[in-house]
Amino acid sequence: MSHFQREFAVTLPAGRVRFGPGVRHDIGAEIARLGAERALILTTPRQADAMRAFATEAEGRVVDVFAGAKMHTPVSVTEDALAEVEKIGADCLVAVGGGSTTGLAKALAYRTNLPQIIVPTTYAGSEATPILGQTEDGIKTTLRDPRVQPEVILYDAKLVTGLPVAMTVTSALNAIAHAAEGLYAEDRNPLSSVMAVEGMRAFADALPRVLADPGDLDARGETLYGAWLCGSVLGQVSMALHHKLCHTLGGTFDLPHAETHAIILPHAIGFNAAAVPELLAPVAEIFGAGSAGRALHGFAARMGAPTRLSDLGLKESDLDRAAELATQNAYPNPAEITPQGVRQILEAAYCGRPPVR
């Protein structure tokens, strides 16, 4: 159905987004532009040393580095970081890292309203959304709030040249998942669909070039452009079956985020292709021939992505429980969601079988 036969609304974030190899070196000027002078840098333990060096480039505008960001944004880590924000009187947050580090900045901004500058080092795309997922006592909750939307994003291709190849591929497929599901979102709009198609096209073009030469700045730059587009789609429209399955597998069975997205994506998209083949036609065109699910499966395999949930530690005996959990609450999805249908998706993804469509 054409966009213009439906009502639609476009909500665009008012942020500033810069691209370019070396753009991170302007960090001091970007902090100053926000009227701030006491920034706190956030990162993961693995990236701590590099960030202490980076802090010295900020013309004296970075006061400290908090290197405790963790996957799934635990509230206990946010509370430790909040104590640091208060101790040093921080007036700006600078997150350098993947989705976990961005999550910490967002959790702090939600509580303090401090401005955020995000310097992404993966393709997760969280920097382009007003969405925050947090974990407390083993339960993950998600909220949307304008306070959480970062003010500035600096996409520096040089920072992703060091992203290991396996993470590069799974993180790219994680981004592509936002765009693919965005194409059939109930609240999609003409702009979100254009961004989704262009984001997927950027990855289809640049990811093979990145794998041939992980230091190729042109290809890395294009993947970051793709990450921003795909993340912007996630920020604008609601997700469906694919994201629900990944959250269930991550939340209850502790499967790793990006790998789980990479494995489930062709199966969830193939399942929905039966209901909305015309909306998913761009996926088939961009990633290969034939149907959307099969095209994505082929692309993921060519890129060397993991294809079996069994390789992530899921047990065959978990499949029934996962199918039950993923179908517990109703949510909009183009194809009807049934426990048997979801069980079949999970089984194919467990064994690494190509999807039917």
Contacts with ligand NAD, residue ranges (CB under 6 A): 44, 46-47, 71-72, 97-101, 103, 121-122, 124-126, 129, 131-133, 159-160, 162-163, 171, 234, 257-258
Give me the least distance between CB of 231 and ligand NAD, in Å please: 7
Give me the least distance between CB of 197 and ligand NAD, in Å please: 20
Quick one: 123 or 271, whose CB is closer to ligand NAD? Answer: 123
DSSP, residue by residue, 288-356: -SS-HHHHHHHHHHHTT----GGGGT--GGGHHHHHHHHTSS----SSPP-HHHHHHHHHHHHHTPPP-
Q: Are 283 and 178 in contact (CB under 8 A)?
A: no
Residue 127 tokens read as: 């920097």
Quick one: 131 or 237, whose CB is closer to ligand NAD? Answer: 131
Quick one: 80 or 316, whose CB is closer to ligand NAD? Answer: 80
Q: Are 246 and 260 in contact (CB under 8 A)?
A: yes
| Closest to 206 (Cα-Cα) out of 176, 233, 177 | 176
Give me the least distance between CB of 98 and ligand NAD, in Å please: 2
Instruction: Report how far residue 17's alpha carbon sits from residue 128's, in angstroms, rounded to the nearest whole number.
Output: 9
Quick one: 214 or 352, whose CB is closer to ligand NAD? Answer: 214
Name the DSSP letter for residue 24: G
Bridge partners (DSSP) listed for residue 133: 142
Residue 247 tokens read as: 């959250």
Instruction: Report how far residue 3's alpha carbon sits from residue 5's, in angstroms, rounded to the nearest whole number.
Output: 6
Give me the least distance between CB of 97 and ligand NAD, in Å please: 5
Give me the least distance between CB of 125 and ligand NAD, in Å please: 5
> Nearest 5°: phi and psi at 99?
-60, -30
Quick one: 19 or 347, whose CB is closer to ligand NAD? Answer: 19
Quick one: 160 or 326, whose CB is closer to ligand NAD? Answer: 160
Quick one: 159 or 240, whose CB is closer to ligand NAD? Answer: 159
| Closest to 233 (Cα-Cα) out of 202, 197, 208 | 197
Give me the least distance between CB of 101 and ligand NAD, in Å please: 6
Quick one: 187 or 347, whose CB is closer to ligand NAD? Answer: 187
Give me the least distance between CB of 9 and ligand NAD, in Å please: 20
**Which residue's beta carbon is nearest to the bound ligand NAD?**
99
- Side-chain-side CA neighbours of residue 71 (13 Å): 9
Give me the least distance between CB of 338 and ligand NAD, in Å please: 27
DSSP, residue by residue, 76-129: HHHHHHHHHHHHHT--EEEEEESHHHHHHHHHHHHHH---EEEEESSS--GGG-
